[in-house]
Amino acid sequence: MGMVELKPNREKEMAERERFNAWFREEYAVLTRELSEAHTPRMALIATKGTLDWAYPPFILGSTAAALGWEVSIFFSFYGLELLKKDLQLGVSPLGNPAMPMKVPVGPDWLRKVEWNIPNAVMGNLPGFEAMAKSMFSTTLKQKGVASIEELRSACIECGVKLVACQMTVDLFGYSKSDFIPEVAEWAGAATFLPVAAGADTVLFI
């Protein structure tokens, strides 16, 4: 008699548990969707290069992400500090970028399409080669309608990108804060920036 009375109670308990599980799954899905929609993506970039060609990636990625509504912080360390200076004197070093195609930006189409495979020994020893490479690179950028570094940096500032200068590198190279643009948001070290990177959705080292 006791076993007959226990079965309906157990079935009722299992039905209630299933209803609770279904409700919980539905509520959890709604909450997860709401949190995802409310989340603002965050990007942390670490810029360490100070040449003209390497100046483009951090500012292009930073300004694009900020335009999409992301929170962006760029940590400029070592030679990357050159990108924050008031007076930008950025060169191009094809010697350090052996895969970089050397193309003549003027002349007939057939000549512009030729990739000049110049040996490193020539690039490293030919006087004025880097100045010529910078001129060719700058001319190509203008012809293609690519924004200048100054324009991209201004776009980052206008979009709210946080520009962080590595204080250790500033001290190491003997720089003064007056050498840099006033829009530098923070002077910090690795210990300060690492938590920012740890909390970011995307971290890129350039």
* 155-166 residue pLDDT tens: 999 999 999 999
**Residues 81, 10: one domain?**
no
Average pLDDT value for residue range 183-206:
94
| Cross-sheet strand order for the sheet of 186-188 | 186-188, 162-166, 71-76, 42-47, 202-205
Lowest mean pLDDT among 53-57, 102-106, 132-136, 175-179: 102-106
Instruction: Please state, in angstroms and rounded to a whole number, the distance separating the CA atoms of residues 200 and 152.
Output: 22
Contact 165, 84 (CB under 8 A): yes
Residue percentage of the chain with pLDDT more than 90: 48
Residue 162, beta-bridge partner list = 73
**Residues 20, 56: one domain?**
no
Contact 130, 92 (CB under 8 A): yes
Is the pLDDT at 175 greater than 80, yes or no? yes
Backbone angles phi, psi at 148, to 5 degrees: -75, 165
pLDDT of residue 11: 77
DSSP letter (8 states) at residue 75: E
Q: Please give the tally of structural domains in the chain.
A: 2
Average pLDDT value for residue range 33-38:
65
CATH of the domain at 66: 3.40.1260.10
pLDDT of residue 116: 55
Virtual CA dihedral for 54, 133, 184, 205, nearest 10 degrees?
A: 10
Predicted confidence band at 44 (pLDDT cuts at 50, 70, 90)? very high
**Residues 66, 24: one domain?**
no
**Residues 107, 165: one domain?**
yes
**Residues 147, 101: one domain?**
yes
Mark out the alpha helices in the chain (DSSP H runs): 2-38, 52-67, 109-112, 120-125, 129-143, 149-158, 167-173, 190-198
How many angstroms separate the Cα of 141 from the Cα of each of 43, 55, 137? 26, 13, 6
pLDDT of residue 146: 81
Contact 73, 203 (CB under 8 A): no
Instruction: Please state, in angstroms and rounded to a whole number, the distance separating the CA atoms of residues 56 and 147.
Output: 9
**Residues 52, 123: one domain?**
yes
How many angstroms separate the Cα of 162 from the Cα of each of 59, 135, 149, 178, 179? 11, 31, 16, 18, 18
Instruction: Please state, in angstroms and rounded to a whole number, the distance separating the CA atoms of residues 164 and 160.
Output: 12
pLDDT tens string 132-163: 666 666 776 777 778 899 999 999 999 999 99
Predicted confidence band at 26 (pLDDT cuts at 50, 70, 90)? confident
Domain that holds residue 26: 1-39
3-class SS at 107? coil
**Residues 166, 129: one domain?**
yes
Task: Tell me the average pLDDT of the chain.
Answer: 81
**Residues 68, 133: one domain?**
yes
Is the pLDDT at 1 greater than 50, yes or no? no
pLDDT tens string 48-101: 999 888 999 999 999 999 999 999 999 999 999 999 999 888 877 665 555 555
**Residues 49, 144: one domain?**
yes
pLDDT of residue 19: 81
**Residues 124, 80: one domain?**
yes
pLDDT of residue 150: 93
Instruction: Please state, in angstroms and rounded to a whole number, the distance separating the CA atoms of residues 129 and 95.
Output: 10
pLDDT of residue 71: 96
pLDDT of residue 105: 59
